[in-house]
């Protein structure tokens, strides 16, 4: 009886030009309706499953509403996700997750079960219809900068060329941002 030689398995990788590359994307999660903590937990898990691996996350923060202040306070959290999705694909998936979690857009800055904003997509700057990255208001909002300071203080804003820690120090937003856990 002949001895069979073991078959050597080799992994075939596409050439570097065809390999998908991971991009670090920073997202802001917010909720001020229903079980806010559970809404953020469900969004986090859906993002991890459908968008990419959550590599970093801030603590939860309770924050005053911004823009339309006559509403309940928000729970906010910033997460960094490693994704291979292109910016438009990312935006589409975020919209689907928000819909799946009960988001109904009725008014600008109104109450919501879940809100997911793209803050940064690597170092890219995108100004397109319905998609602006980095988020055009992030440097004005303490509820974004406080948790960003926690997970990425040295990250430089690609348009302003200022790191997060300095943006936080320069921010004129005096609304209360309280770390919860």
**Is-catalytic flag, 36?**
no
From the candidates 5, 112, 170, 181, give the one annotated as an active-site residue. Answer: 112
Catalytic residue selected from 21, 36, 72, 117: 117
Q: Is 112 a catalytic residue?
A: yes
From 35, 103, 128, 181, the catalytic residue: 103
Exposed, middle or buried: residue 54 (CB in 10 Å: 0-12, 13-18, 19+)?
middle
Structure tokens at 58: 């801030």
DSSP string for 147-162: HHHHH-TTPBPTTT--
Taking a C-beta distance cutoff of 8 angstroms, is the pair 160, 145 a contact? no
Name the active-site residue from 5, 72, 99, 115.
Answer: 115
C-alpha to C-alpha distance for 116 and 148, rounded to whole angstroms:
15
Tell me if residue 103 is catalytic. yes
Tokens of 30: 């917010």
Respond yes or no: is residue 141 known to be catalytic.
Answer: no
Residues recognised as catalytic: 103, 112, 115, 117
């Amino acid at each position: 009886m002949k001895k069979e030689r073991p078959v050597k398995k080799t992994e075939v990788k596409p050439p570097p030009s065809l390999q998908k590359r991971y991009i670090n994307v920073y997202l802001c999660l917010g909720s001020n309706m229903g079980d806010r903590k559970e809404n953020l937990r469900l969004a986090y898990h859906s993002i991890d499953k459908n968008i990419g691996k959550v590599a970093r996350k801030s603590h939860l923060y309770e924050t005053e509403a911004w823009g339309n202040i006559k509403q309940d306070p928000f729970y906010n959290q910033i997460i960094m996700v490693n994704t291979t999705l292109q910016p438009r694909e990312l935006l589409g998936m975020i919209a689907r997750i928000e819909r799946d979690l009960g988001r109904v857009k009725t008014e600008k800055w109104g109450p919501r079960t879940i809100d997911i904003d793209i803050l940064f997509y690597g170092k890219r700057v995108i100004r397109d219809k319905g998609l602006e990255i980095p988020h055009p208001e992030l440097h004005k909002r303490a509820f974004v900068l406080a948790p960003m300071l926690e997970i990425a203080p040295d990250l430089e804003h690609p348009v302003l060329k200022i790191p997060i820690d300095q943006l936080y120090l320069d921010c004129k937003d005096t609304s209360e941002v309280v770390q919860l856990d």
